[in-house]
Amino acid sequence: MSLRNLKQFARVVMENQELRERLSGVSDQGSLVRLLVAMGEENGYTFSEQDVVNYLDLVSDEVEISYPLANLDEIPSVVVW
């Protein structure tokens, strides 16, 4: 269930400019993980830090995520799941 929530929230983030802006400038994976969990909770989605870490590990085979995050509009759709 939490992975499903994470995937749903990722779609919401990619469709919401305000949420994407909150992620821009994140300086490392740990900060990204904590912020995604907090933002998910604020928007009614429950998933763990470990869920986010596991997913980032999976997509790292498909796309390189570099920090600090800059333009989230350029993230390939594979990250959106």
Per-residue model confidence (pLDDT) at position 81 = 46
Sequence ranges of the domains in the chain? 2-68
Reported as a pLDDT band with limits 50, 70 and 90, residue 78 is very low
Question: Alpha-carbon Rg of the chain, whole angstroms?
Answer: 11
Give the side-chain half-sphere CA count within 13 A for 77. Answer: 0
pTM: 0.84
Residue 76: DSSP 8-state: -
Tell me what the mean pLDDT of segment 38-57 comes to.
Answer: 93
Supply 69's token pair: 């995050």
Q: What is the pLDDT of residue 34?
A: 95
Q: pLDDT: is 27 or 62 the higher one?
A: 27
pLDDT tens, 7-25? 899 889 888 989 988 988 8
